Amino acid sequence: MSVMPDFSLSYLTAPKIHPSEALRIAANTGYKAIGIRILPAAPGGEYFPLIENPHELPGILNTMQETGISICDLEMIRLNADFDVDQLKGFFEVGAKLKAKHILVAGDDPDTSRLSDAYAKLCEACAPYGLTADLEFMPWTEIKSIKDAYKVIQGANNPSNAGIIIDSLHFARSDSDISDIARIPNHLFHYAQICDASGTKPATDVELISDARTNRLLPGEGGIDLKSIFTSISPNMPISIEIPNARQSQMSPTAWAQLCMDATKDFYKKL
């Protein structure tokens, strides 16, 4: 049996619910942490407005203390041509109060030099708050592969709080290879995201995005070589279980979180 890592309940596995409820669900289903989305992934997207409503913080902090569940990551920051790090002070302050560990970061700027510069500024700004800035490569963004993510970090002069997220779905559907993981310094990997999916890569970005947001599968249900991915990273790395699927609307958030946890544990037991 493989080492069983600590698991975090991703925002997309239990979306549209209050963070305090997510914390209780996590506590009742075997997770050690949760992720919270406090900025939208896209304009008009769902998120919990904790920056705008700081009066919600004491209740969430009390629930964290009661349950013993921590905050793994905060979503999400996008680096685009209009990126302005000065607008993110409230985001960092919330992260520090929650004692969050990581920020999920996406890259949308086609100017690679400007993208690395923006990332360097983000890392510098969030470091005093105890946060790492973890790049999530996605094949429809400007950071399309694990190699692209590493190039951004190198272009930013390797900040001490830089990081790369390996999402098994994006890894499998991008120009990324298992050998790339070994070529990247291990200290850049703080946590990873797990799900399964069809072994057939969608042909268009629209289909890729749709699959990522609504059609991820439980580990073992699809065709991704999860074994190769998760035996290539540190066995002690926290794993965020991120499995949005249409089926979850037919179940309670607790039941879906439990199903995702059970399938992920079964996968690790077989490693």
What pLDDT score does 2 carry?
65
DSSP assignment of 136-159 equals E--TTSSS-SHHHHHHHHHHTT--
> What are 34-64's pLDDT values in tens digits?
999 999 998 899 999 999 999 999 999 999 9
Cβ pair 263, 33 in contact under 8 A: no
Average pLDDT, the chain: 96
What gap in Å lies between CA 149 and CA 134, rounded to an integer?
Answer: 9
Per-residue pLDDT for 69 more than 50? Answer: yes
Report the 10 Å Cβ neighbour count for 4: 13
Q: Which residues contact residue 92 at a Cβ distance below 8 angstroms, ignoring those fewer than 6 apart?
A: 125, 126, 129, 131
Per-residue pLDDT for 91 more than 60? Answer: yes
Helix (H, G, I), strand (E, B) or coil at 167: strand
What gap in Å lies between CA 212 and CA 206, rounded to an integer?
Answer: 10
- Which two tokens mark 26? 């996590």
- Which two tokens mark 103? 């920020």
Q: What angle do CA 16, 74, 152 make, to 5 degrees?
A: 130
Topology of the domain comprising 7-269: TIM Barrel (3.20.20)
Cα–Cα separations (whole angstroms), residue 27 to 35, 67, 100, 143, 244 = 13, 6, 17, 34, 20
Per-residue pLDDT for 212 more than 50? Answer: yes
- Sign of torsion, CA 140 86 99 37? negative
- pTM comes to 0.96
From the list 218, 227, 220, the residue with the least C-alpha distance to 258 is: 218
- What dihedral angle (degrees, nearest 10) is formed by the CA atoms of 42, 43, 48, 52? 140
- Which two tokens mark 76? 């999400």
From the list 105, 107, 119, the residue with the least C-alpha distance to 80 is: 107
Mean pLDDT over 106-130 rounds to 98
Q: Where are the domains of the chain?
A: 7-269
Mean pLDDT over 191-220 rounds to 94
For 1-15, 27-41, 61-75, 133-147, which range has the lowest pLDDT when averaged over its residues?
1-15
Per-residue pLDDT for 1 more than 50? Answer: no
> What are 232-264's pLDDT values in tens digits?
999 999 999 999 999 999 999 999 999 999 999
